[in-house]
Amino acid sequence: MRLLFLGDMVGRSGRTAVYERLPRLIADHHIDFAIVNGENAAGGFGVTETILTDTLDAGADVMTTGNHVWDQREALVFAERQERFLRPANYPDGTPGRGMGVFEARNGARVMVSNLMGRVFMSPDLDDPFVAAERQLDGGRLGRDFDCVVFDFHAEATSEKVCFAHFVDGRASLVVGTHTHTPTADHTIFDGGTGYISDVGMCGDYGHSLGMEKEEPLNRFLTKVPRGRFEAATGPATLCGVAVEISDRTGLCERIAPIRIGPRLEETMPSWW
Amino acid sequence: MRLLFLGDMVGRSGRTAVYERLPRLIADHHIDFAIVNGENAAGGFGVTETILTDTLDAGADVMTTGNHVWDQREALVFAERQERFLRPANYPDGTPGRGMGVFEARNGARVMVSNLMGRVFMSPDLDDPFVAAERQLDGGRLGRDFDCVVFDFHAEATSEKVCFAHFVDGRASLVVGTHTHTPTADHTIFDGGTGYISDVGMCGDYGHSLGMEKEEPLNRFLTKVPRGRFEAATGPATLCGVAVEISDRTGLCERIAPIRIGPRLEETMPSWW
Amino acid sequence: MRLLFLGDMVGRSGRTAVYERLPRLIADHHIDFAIVNGENAAGGFGVTETILTDTLDAGADVMTTGNHVWDQREALVFAERQERFLRPANYPDGTPGRGMGVFEARNGARVMVSNLMGRVFMSPDLDDPFVAAERQLDGGRLGRDFDCVVFDFHAEATSEKVCFAHFVDGRASLVVGTHTHTPTADHTIFDGGTGYISDVGMCGDYGHSLGMEKEEPLNRFLTKVPRGRFEAATGPATLCGVAVEISDRTGLCERIAPIRIGPRLEETMPSWW
Amino acid sequence: MRLLFLGDMVGRSGRTAVYERLPRLIADHHIDFAIVNGENAAGGFGVTETILTDTLDAGADVMTTGNHVWDQREALVFAERQERFLRPANYPDGTPGRGMGVFEARNGARVMVSNLMGRVFMSPDLDDPFVAAERQLDGGRLGRDFDCVVFDFHAEATSEKVCFAHFVDGRASLVVGTHTHTPTADHTIFDGGTGYISDVGMCGDYGHSLGMEKEEPLNRFLTKVPRGRFEAATGPATLCGVAVEISDRTGLCERIAPIRIGPRLEETMPSWW
Ligand SMILES: [Fe+2]
Ligand SMILES: [Fe+2]
Ligand SMILES: [Fe+2]
Ligand SMILES: [Fe+2]
Ligand SMILES: [Fe+2]
Ligand SMILES: [Fe+2]
Ligand SMILES: [Fe+2]
Ligand SMILES: [Fe+2]
């Protein structure tokens, strides 16, 4: 089966790019399952239910998130009823919403998607993502209970990301890093058969600072005196993600390639699409 | 002019790859100036004078470093006499060695190279890298005093890296991020003409964790009980870096492309080489 | 001479305690110079010009601050014209206001007061406080140019605080730690003659969490989902500070004792007052 | 009942003070139960089995620890067989040793002791200490199953410490903070009846930096170039701890007072001893 994962949509610019291009990508390239990380979709901070619905309407099967998940407080409510909306699974017990789900792909495959958050440099107060993943994997096995297992590992440190991928190597189809808003070029298939990329990057305006207008972030580095808020940049977005081909037999990754469409970055599409 | 920058050499595996391939790359592709980050060259931790000399013999014009610069304590001594060896410039006054230098390229160009270290998630106790860069740029201007200005910005956080690049945009030929050991795919030329990539990645074994054997890093994530030391992985290295074409007239970046040679990662070479 | 330093005033509760008690303390105990840290005076976040004026009217000679200094944005303006208002001196060049000043005490003594901020666990993006202090001390010598030198070292880590005090030992009359809002019991006079306490604590309501209502801080530890803002606690404050006796001849510290007046904590006053 | 808790023993200086004074304190003041934190007992780093045995011989009923627990690798072995040795309970499942225990006091009381570690500024990769405590408290109730419940909360941030104490207020006899090596003066009894102090301080030489020779820590702040190892200071130690009187009926705290014996700090003993 063929899966597409798009990184953090940032603001209106990112949303526009996803809404406009995702339906066509899915149709033209026979994508069986599409995941979009939406944690920065609402002006850079969180996601509204309207945005979630629009993203699903554009063809996404699941929206994952990360540390910004609750920035729009309505998410605390709709996370409960929207089954295709995931927040990091390693938030404490009692957190609204869910951190993983099993979904049916367009080809009938059973796809388990898990959203986890790293702790290094980031969120010391979360539960252990390795333990959380172990527990999730205890609940069902790739190639038997699931046809595809995807982890969105939302984290800052490359060491934590790559160690996590080794940890689930052979037990997951794909580990996708998100959060840094910077696409990496280390997509690979590990020895056990798990596809991996440290970060897929964002769907946003690459002419500024991680999708946000660069003036204020730069100002803070220079003066340490906040002058205003962080605001999403408004230039045209580049869509960044990763495409994988997953074995219908084993659920493991057979092919992985980045996808980048838009200005500023070097465009690329899977050669095998 | 044509410049090549190679990311953090890790251990014997990284050194072997650099020593074997760099001479040929320089000769075949008419590289005018080559920089190699060597902070992890000695078993993952620091660099010895022999390694420095061997790297220069292989064709490097300058070796930059980062937070691991003093891991081999002999560096505190040879940093003083080795003019082609740079440590981060924003260490405090009185630190041995130098953080920048001006060198003559094979084509006669005057190349200023500066090594800086970020502070976010990393080294709260360093001087401000933005202030340090400003001071360095006060000492001479690109296109007038220098034909090429390169910053190796050794840092963890993508926000700090990209904001730094915007800060010197138009005043530097190239800002290269190092330290995460993970190549990014966001190489670009900013509006002011400065080439940029968030991280060039490492020259090391990509089958483990950032060039180090994966067992111990993974063990620490899982058990929090150190079982041994971190050791450089011994599989074949992938050479990772970036190549740029710099205007002889303005000193600004005209072309930028990643270079990746070796197993595990998707290989790539500049299309214009 | 006799000096009194009061820790971070938190909210209305802290202000009320200071306004009501400081005049009497100064009069009854012949305080020659009084310093109050005001960074949390306005509802826990920053300080307004009215609060500054009221604090000076209550008898404070100088107000120091810390990381919350700019929370009330009017401080960016009045910091320029209010000479008795200090923000951390190791903010970058160009920051509004000043980080040190020389003031005349009621006994005619020339008192240098410096406000610095630590970096460990806190503010990686500040200038080196050790270097900043060295520069300040270069500008004048205790016992010759100044009759008293006081550092408010606003920091989280005890290691940084105590090392700083050793660094200026013999060159300052007093190093007072602030920021943790928790009074320490390690007041001492170092071998060189500098008085020291790791933290004087706050002037605030000790029945909650560092002077703020405990519900929201506790909620965040438990659920990781913000439910509301942090608000200053409204119970009666305990005044916390330190009193020192400084040699008129050498400017060094002859006596140091904590002062704690109010509910919740064990009250104490200098035995030699 | 009467309980004594002594803070982190540092090196030979700290050990000597404890071995010499603890037996006498217990005898003279009819201490029913004594706990000593030993994480820095072996030259500042960890604890050997000999040190553990000697400390128990001196009268300690339990030794707690913290982040330095495994610095001496033999602890990984003896932690399994030594029931009176505790390591932080919120290490991951499978960690050697235990994080809590129930012990019989000299007066026959059943004393539950738990050792936890904070995460803020410290150990992002530990399990949630609030959840761990909740689970421990589920196992038995103060005043019914236990006559006394003590938490050694080993942490850096005062906010985490005080919020934890509010969290267990009424369910524990005592929450003692350790790790900063700096005694605080905020000992109090919360509204629910739990005794609290943010940090008891260390048993070590207060003339240096947290019990370690000050030269190297200071050197690192000044030069960022390590010159040597951290070594325990050798001057005479000050014994720092806290004494509490616990209700035989409710198990709650009736009295709390610091104890400090030795040079450098102001000495103090419970007035009610
Ligand atoms: Fe994001
Ligand atoms: Fe994020
Ligand atoms: Fe490196
Ligand atoms: Fe590095
Ligand atoms: Fe404060
Ligand atoms: Fe503060
Ligand atoms: Fe300790
Ligand atoms: Fe500790």
Tens of pLDDT, residue by residue over A245-264, are 999 999 999 999 999 999 99
| Residues measured by CB to lie within 5 Å of ligand 5, the ion | C 8, 39-40
Residue A125 pLDDT exceeds 80:
no
User: Given CA atoms B159, B163, B166, B171 in this order, what sign does their dihedral have?
Assistant: negative
Domain boundaries, chain D: 1-259
pLDDT of the residue at B155:
97
In chain B, the residue whose alpha carbon lies closest to the alpha carbon of A119 is B221
Residue A16 pLDDT exceeds 90:
yes
| A120:D125 CB<8 A | yes
| Rounded-to-integer distance, Cα D186 and Cα D171, Å | 20
Q: Whose structure tokens read 């990781």?
A: C224
pLDDT of the residue at B121:
87
Mark B81-112 as b/e (b = at least 16 C-beta within 10 Å). Answer: ebebbbbbbbbbeebbbbbbbebebeeebebb
> CATH class for domain A1-259?
alpha beta
Q: How far is the CA of C71 from the centre of ligand 7 (A)?
A: 34
CA dihedral defined by B150, B156, B161, B162, rounded to 10 degrees?
A: 140
Mean predicted confidence (pLDDT) in A210-237: 93
Other beta carbons within 10 Å of B73? 11
Tell me which of C87-101, C111-125, D238-252 is least confident. C111-125
Q: Smallest Cβ distance to A92: which of D92, D125, D128?
A: D128
| Rounded-to-integer distance, Cα C257 and Cα D24, Å | 29
pLDDT of the residue at C225:
87
Nearest to A212 by CA among D39, B166, D205, D270: B166
% of chain A surpassing 70 pLDDT: 100
| D157:C162 CB<8 A | no
List Cβ neighbours of B165 (8 Å cut-off, separation of 6 or more): B153, B175, B190, B194, B196
Residue C258 with chain D: CB contacts under 8 Å: 185
Average pLDDT, chain C: 96
User: Is residue D39 part of an annotated ligand binding site?
Assistant: yes
| Rounded-to-integer distance, Cα A122 and Cα A118, Å | 7
Kindly state the greatest CA–CA separation across chain B: 57
Please, which pLDDT band fits residue D134 given cuts at 50, 70 and 90? Answer: very high
CB of C191 within 8 Å of a chain B CB? The answer is no
ipTM: 0.91
User: Is residue D67 part of an annotated ligand binding site?
Assistant: yes
Q: pTM for the full model?
A: 0.93
Which chains does chain C touch, 3 or more C-beta pairs < 8 A?
A, B, D
pLDDT of the residue at D98:
97
Nearest to C137 by CA among C102, C162, C109: C102
Residues of A designated as active site: 68
Mean predicted confidence (pLDDT) in D88-107: 96
| Cβ B124 vs Cβ B86: under 8 Å | no
Within 13 Å of residue A92, how many CA atoms lie on the same side as its CB?
A: 18
Please, which pLDDT band fits residue A36 given cuts at 50, 70 and 90? Answer: very high
The whole-angstrom distance between C271's CA and the closest CA on chain A is: 42
Residue D77 pLDDT exceeds 90:
yes
Q: What are the distances in angstroms from CA C267 to CA C209, C260, D186?
A: 19, 5, 10
Please, which pLDDT band fits residue D226 given cuts at 50, 70 and 90? Answer: confident
Residue D124 pLDDT exceeds 80:
no
Q: A129-138 and A158-168 are packed helices; what angle lies between their axes, rounded to 10 degrees?
A: 20
| Residues measured by CB to lie within 5 Å of ligand 7, the ion | D 8, 39-40
pLDDT of the residue at D122:
83
| Cβ A57 vs Cβ A29: under 8 Å | no
| Cβ C137 vs Cβ C116: under 8 Å | no
| Residues measured by CB to lie within 5 Å of ligand 6, the ion | C 66-67, 179
Please, which pLDDT band fits residue C226 given cuts at 50, 70 and 90? Answer: confident
Tell me which of B45-59, B109-123, C121-135, C202-216 is least confident. C121-135
Residue D123 pLDDT exceeds 80:
no
Considering only residues 210 to 229 of chain B, which have any Cβ-Cβ distance to chain A shorter than 8 Å? 210, 214, 217-218, 221-222
Other beta carbons within 10 Å of A228? 9
Residue D45 pLDDT exceeds 80:
yes
pLDDT of the residue at B103:
98
Residues linked to residue D49 through DSSP beta bridges, in sequence order: none
Which chains does chain B touch, 3 or more C-beta pairs < 8 A?
A, C, D
Q: Whose structure tokens read 């730094």?
A: B164
Q: How far is the CA of C32 from the centre of ligand 6 (A)?
A: 26
List Cβ neighbours of A38 (8 Å cut-off, separation of 6 or more): A8, A9, A47, A51, A52, A55, A63, A64, A65
Active site annotation includes C187: no
Mean predicted confidence (pLDDT) in A89-116: 97
Q: How far is the CA of A181 from the centre of ligand 1 (A)?
A: 6
Q: Which helix (H) or strand (E) holds A176?
A: strand A174-178
Residue B132 with chain D: CB contacts under 8 Å: none
| C206:D188 CB<8 A | yes
The whole-angstrom distance between B92's CA and the closest CA on chain D is: 6
Mean predicted confidence (pLDDT) in D185-189: 98
| B265:A185 CB<8 A | yes
Please, which pLDDT band fits residue C103 given cuts at 50, 70 and 90? Answer: very high
Output D39 or B224, whichever has higher pLDDT: D39
Mean predicted confidence (pLDDT) in A189-214: 97
| B224:D92 CB<8 A | yes
The residue annotated as part of the active site, out of B29, B68, B187, B208, is B68
CB of C164 within 8 Å of a chain D CB? The answer is yes
CB of B263 within 8 Å of a chain A CB? The answer is no
Please, which pLDDT band fits residue A121 given cuts at 50, 70 and 90? Answer: confident
The bound ligand whose nearest atom lies closest to the alpha carbon of D66 is 8
Mean pLDDT by 10 residues, chain B (273 residues): 98 98 98 98 98 98 97 96 98 95 98 96 86 96 97 96 98 98 98 98 97 94 89 97 98 98 97 95
pLDDT of the residue at B224:
85
